[in-house]
Homo-oligomer: A and B are copies of this chain.
């Protein structure tokens, strides 16, 4: 028998990747099982439904990303430096995914969230929650930047909300256009929006 949780983790990882790369509707439980080298019965031993796999895979993905984000957004780092490294990190993530799968994948929470928002409440609610968790990092960074006067925006909550929309939009467009070029001006656009002192238009 395999190591405890090895099968479950494989299903979570394969499921997340397949659905991020394609879509919730176009990836079947059979596809996931086949790719994971697991029988269907095992799938339903660990997950009551396809929806539940996705929710848990979201959770898992977020858990894996948190340490990196904690490091990037550490209070030890100057606020604008956090934004800088964060932008680099997002671009690199997208670039790696694009090379791995042959096309730009965008934001998994946004793609799947938007796909099933109107008919799968479980996934919708979790998408919303996780996206908001990510925004908190940015909100704090902007608040710190305002306090050290390295930025001209006034309201960190409003600014982080707008920034989040802007980024989400860029990721969706990059996916639809299948072109990383959309993301190249990301940092400059963000700094410009924040009214960062160190960078011109």
Which residues of A line the B interface, CB within 8 A?
21-26, 101, 103, 105-106, 110-111, 113-119, 124, 127-128, 131, 154-155, 158, 162, 164-170, 172-173, 175-178, 182, 185, 189, 193, 201
Contact = CB atoms under 8 A, between A and B. Distances in A.
| Most B Cβ at <10 Å: residue of A110, A169, A177, A185 | A169
Given A119-B22, A154-B201, A114 B176 contact: yes
30 contacts: A22-B118, A23-B25, A23-B115, A23-B118, A23-B119, A25-B25, A25-B26, A26-B119, A101-B118, A103-B118, A106-B117, A113-B172, A113-B176, A115-B115, A117-B176, A118-B178, A124-B176, A128-B176, A128-B177, A131-B173, A131-B176, A154-B201, A158-B185, A162-B166, A165-B166, A165-B173, A168-B168, A168-B172, A169-B170, A193-B193
A105 B128 contact: no
Contact of A105 (B21, B118, B165, B170): B118
Contact of A117 (B103, B118, B170, B185): B103
Nearest to A103: B118
A113 B173 CA distance: 9
A172 B110 contact: yes
Contacts of A168: 168-169, 172-173
A6 to B, nearest CB: 28
Nearest to A105: B118
Given A162-B189, A165-B170, A169-B165, A106 B114 contact: yes
